[in-house]
Amino acid sequence: MNKRLTPDEIGEQLGELDRWTEKSGKLHKEFVFADFSEAWGWMSRVALVAEALGHHPEWFNVYRTVRVDLTTHDAGGITAVDFALAAKMDALAG
Amino acid sequence: MNKRLTPDEIGEQLGELDRWTEKSGKLHKEFVFADFSEAWGWMSRVALVAEALGHHPEWFNVYRTVRVDLTTHDAGGITAVDFALAAKMDALAG
C-alpha cells in the first residue's frame, strides 16, 4: 500500500474520485456541510476509519467547512492508502 | 460577550491563559497530544463545548497535533467568548 504513485497513476485514480485534486504532492478536497454539527459528524466517522487504517488526514475545519490534504509521509508522496481514505471520505459524505 | 477587545484587554487576558498568543487578530495555540486518539478525544470534547457556546474554532489537525485559531468574525476581532473557549480548551487538555 505504501509505494508512491506516479503522476500517471495519480491522474488516473483522481478520475475515479469526486472533485479531488492534486496539490503540492497531496490529495486535496474541500467539503462543505450544512452546519458544524454535520461537519463534525462526518469528521468523527472519518476519524474512526483513519485510526483503523493507521493513516490520518491533514485537515482544517472552520464551522461547516473541512479542507483535507492526504499524503503518505513515509513514501514521500501520494499512495494507494491516500486514495483509499479519500474514497471512504466521499462515501461517508454521501 | 461580542464586543471586540482592545489590545490592552487582550494582553491582560492572555496572561491568564497557558501559552496562547495573539496572531493576526486571533488567539492562537498549538496543542500536541500523545497520539491521534488522544488528540481526537480532546477535539471531540471541545466540539461539544463549541456547539453549546455557538462559537466554533478554526482548527487544523494532523495526527497528534492541533493548531487552533479563535476569533469572532461578527465583531471583527477577539472577544470574551474567544477567551472563554480558549480557557475551556486548556481545561480539557488537562
Determine what percent of chain B falls in helix, strand and coil, rounding each to the nearest 5.
Answer: 45, 25, 30
Q: Dump pLDDT digits (tens) for B7-64.
A: 999 999 999 999 999 999 999 999 999 999 999 999 999 999 999 999 999 999 999 9
- A56 with B50: Cβ contact below 8 A: no
Number of Cβ pairs < 8 A linking chain A and chain B: 39
Whether the pLDDT of residue B94 is over 90: the answer is no
What is the model's pTM?
0.95
Helical H segments across chain A, by residue range: 7-14, 36-53, 80-93
Task: Look at B58 and A56 and tell me if their CB atoms are within 8 Å.
Answer: no
- Can you give the pLDDT at residue A1? 53
pLDDT (0 to 100) of residue A7: 95
What pLDDT was estimated at residue B1? 53
User: Is the reported ipTM for this assembly greater than 0.90?
Assistant: yes
Q: CB distance A36–B58 less than 8 Å?
A: no
Shortest CA distance to B10 belongs to which of B91, B71, B90?
Answer: B71
Handedness of CA B7, B12, B14, B19 (dihedral sign): positive
d(C-alpha B84, C-alpha A47), whole Å:
27
Q: Each residue of B61-83: b (16+ CB within 10 Å) or e? A: bbbbebbbbbbbeebebbbbbbb
Comparing CA positions, the residue from A88, A82, A91, A93 lying closest to residue A28 is: A82
Best of B30, B35, B61 to disrupt the A interface (most A CBs within 10 Å) is B61
Mean pLDDT of B69-79: 96
In tens digits, chain A (94 residues) has pLDDT values of: 589 999 999 999 999 999 999 999 999 999 999 999 999 999 999 999 999 999 999 999 999 999 999 999 999 999 999 999 999 999 999 8
